[in-house]
A and B are shown apart, each in its own frame.
Chain A
Amino acid sequence: MPGWSIPYVLLVPGIVVIAGLLLYPMIQMIIMSFQSISLRVIRGVAEPEWVGLDNYTKLFDNDIFWSSLRNTVVFAAVTVALTLILGTAVGALLNRLSKRMSTFVIIGIMSAWAVPPVAQGTIWRWLFDAEAGIINWALNLLPDALSTLIFGRADWTGQPWLNDAWSVYVVLVLTVVWASFPFVAVSVLAGLRGIPAELYEAARVDGATPWRTFRKITFPLLKPVFAVLTILSIIWDFKVLSQLYVLLNGPTNREAFNLSLFSFAEAFKAPPKMGTGAAIAVVLTIILLIVTAFYTRQMVKQEDLT
């Protein structure tokens, strides 16, 4: 085997898998978004029919599309922000705890992080259950005056959190933040431990306030960490599906759909409309690529790719 060919031989399986399972389907998805795909096509006895921009025009006329888009974007913005803020705060806290205490907390947050998305959904659905959920019980514990002041109501008995799209998203935000802040926290902790202590000593000698120290030392040094965490959180939160699927008990409440669940419901609920499903997936992909384009460019520039 000639020496120059070795890397190519090593890459063959990887390239076949990536091309066959990611790039080719991606092209198929774009093509399918301009087609109508009947049950006969799915069974393989007929060819798909070209419909031009029909899938897209119908989609943009559909109120469910716009509410799904809004749900997707607002949910991602809120969840990414909360995850990063909470995760960074906990990471900074871990950095200041004693070794034993920080190990204890890390083990706790790792357990939350390890819970499979489907189980996350069932747990939080159970916590917010209208009849026997612990959240309604806890809210009833609040002094009536305080509860009325904050929420405008005192009695939470039987509050059906998962019937209404708005409160479903409150639960979903909590679920996803709970499960994803640990990753941010441990990454920030790893980053903080990499900062030389002399920098902080110098800042202390100069009499810098904690906030100034954070802005002038911690943040700039951790910027690459934050960039990666932000981008990963965006990618994850834009396409949250399993947890929402469980909280809604399947694709039932159309007002609470996000783009992923909407695409899934169009394509796989009878009657299957795979063309429309593909069009929704294309829209979701374009949004994600735009949001992450800047980051990808940065990575390509920073990386020693050549």
Chain B
Amino acid sequence: MTPLARKRLNKIALNTAGVLVFLFAVFPVYWMVSTSFKANDQIFTTDFIPFPTHFTFEHVNTVLTDGVAGNSIWVYMRNSAIVALGTVLIGSAFALLAATAVARFRFKGRTSFLITLLIVQMIPTEALLIPLFLNVRRLGLYDNLLGLIVIQVGLTLPFGIWMLRTFVAAVPKSLEEAAWIDGASRFTTFWKVLFPLVAPGLVATSIFSFITAWNDLIFALVLMKDTTGYTMPVALQFFFGQRGTDWGAIMATSTLMTLPVIAFFLLVQRRMVSGLVAGAVKG
């Protein structure tokens, strides 16, 4: 074989592998979306129906209007959004303050704080479910979305600080010093100089927190009692075995829960990866 032919063959092999990886990753997602638009006779069959030929909005409509457990899916969607956004707003503010402290100042207790951050990330958060459940009850935040927000802030904060501090550290200190010399206060310097420069890092940590809170099943399952307070992942459980398993509705709901996250990911794909890798790998 000539080197040129070998090179071409090599390229074909690599591209084929790439396409196979793509299909392995995407097919299950595609199968979820396409099932949501298939009529029932195309869902409950032993045949392979690659795409909905009896295309229907029936399941999406059922889910949007009838919903599940007595509420429209919008109620759950709204609850999920409240929890996720609340977590992001409070969590990012706290993370930014703490990250600035550890990245910009040398103070007594700094090392212990960083080591504590590392260690609390090793605690399986699900293991804290029982004490957190009891504490939330005692505080009167049981069956209250605020309780869920508080918990999610706690679960996402250590990683948020850890990730964000590399972004803060990457901003040259001389920029801030120049602003001080020009007579700006510490506070102005923070808002006008540091904040805009760490914004990309803030976006990365926010998305991480948003998704963690949006995806949570277990804490919401345990902490919310009334169905009007359920989040999407909890509501989804009600489709199973309610009147048999309504796969069309389940897949439509799963799609509604998944597509915003995928859209989010793809929009900020590059920033997300660099943020995660910087936070995780560079330390």
Contacts and interface: CB of A to CB of B under 8 A. Distances in A.
B222 interface: yes
Interface residues of B toward A: which range?
Answer: 35 or more
Interface in B88-112: 93-95, 97-98, 100-102, 104-105, 107, 110-111
B46 A157 contact: yes
Interface in A170-219: 178, 182-183, 186-187, 190-191
Contacts of B7: none
Contact of A18 (B21, B154, B222): B154
Contacts of B115: 300, 305
Contact of A109 (B21, B122, B218): B21
Interface string B237-263: 100110000010011001001100110
B148 interface: no
B129 interface: yes
Interface residues of A, number: 102
B233 A118 contact: yes
In the A-B complex, list the 3 residue pairs whose CB atoms are closest, starting with the nearest. Answer: A21-B154, A14-B98, A281-B127
A269 B150 CA distance: 24
A50 to B, nearest CB: 17
Contact of B46 (A137, A183, A250): A137
A190 to B, nearest CB: 5
Given A6-B101, A277-B130, A284-B124, 16 more contacts: A11-B97, A25-B128, A97-B18, A105-B21, A111-B265, A111-B266, A123-B29, A132-B43, A178-B25, A235-B121, A238-B124, A260-B126, A268-B222, A281-B127, A284-B127, A285-B124
Interface in A103-149: 104-119, 122-124, 126-127, 129, 131-132, 134, 136-138
A242 B254 contact: no
A197 to B, nearest CB: 18
A264 B258 contact: no
B126 A241 contact: yes
Contacts of A126: 31-32, 35, 247, 250-251
Contact of A224 (B21, B94, B157, B281): B281
Nearest to A31: B131
Contacts, number: 293
28 contacts: A8-B101, A11-B98, A13-B97, A13-B98, A22-B120, A22-B158, A32-B131, A104-B22, A109-B21, A110-B265, A114-B262, A115-B261, A117-B217, A122-B236, A127-B31, A132-B45, A138-B48, A157-B46, A187-B273, A190-B274, A190-B281, A191-B277, A232-B280, A242-B217, A245-B218, A246-B237, A260-B126, A274-B134
B157 A285 contact: no
Contact of A93 (B14, B24, B158, B277): B14
A94 B237 CA distance: 37
Interface of B: 14-15, 17-19, 21-26, 28-29, 31-32, 35, 43-48, 93-95, 97-98, 100-102, 104-105, 107, 110-111, 113-135, 137-138, 150-151, 153-155, 157-158, 161, 186, 211, 214-215, 217-218, 222, 232-233, 236-237, 240-241, 247, 250-251, 254, 257-258, 261-262, 264-266, 269, 273-274, 276-277, 280-281, 283
A253 interface: no
B283 A302 contact: yes
Nearest to A283: B127
B44 A118 contact: no
Contacts of A8: 101, 107
Nearest to B154: A21
Contact of A106 (B98, B119, B153, B269): B269
A102 interface: yes
Nearest to A185: B21
A119 B113 CA distance: 36
A96 to B, nearest CB: 6
A235 B124 contact: yes
Contact of A249 (B127, B153, B241, B283): B241
B276 A187 contact: yes
B97 A111 contact: no
A26 B269 contact: no
A288 interface: yes
A93 B10 CA distance: 12
Given A18-B157, A299-B283, A122 B100 contact: no
Contact of A134 (B23, B24, B31, B122): B31
